[in-house]
Amino acid sequence: MSIILRLDRVMADRKMSLNELSERVGISNVNLSKLKTGKVSAIRFSTLNAICRVLNCQPGDILEFIDDGKE
């Protein structure tokens, strides 16, 4: 099972930079960059809520499930 983060795609669709999203969400550039590149193993609901509010999107726009046949 793999969860893929599509934050970069949603940010590009909204023409929003990492710095702008970081400021508006209230999360550091470093942590947001890790989210954007998928180098995290967890995300807080409060962070996901803030990102979705700022980007005007649904969690499913950012997170994608890929069944890789592994459990």
Q: What is the pLDDT of residues 17-70, one digit of tens each?
A: 999 999 999 999 999 999 988 888 899 999 999 999 999 999 999 999 988 777
Domain 2-66 has CATH 1.10.260.40: yes
Residue 68 confidence (pLDDT): 79
According to DSSP, residue 63 is labeled E
Q: How far apart are CA 9 and CA 57, in angstroms?
A: 12
pTM: 0.87
* Residue-range domain boundaries for the chain: 2-66
Q: How far apart are CA 64 and CA 20, in angstroms?
A: 24
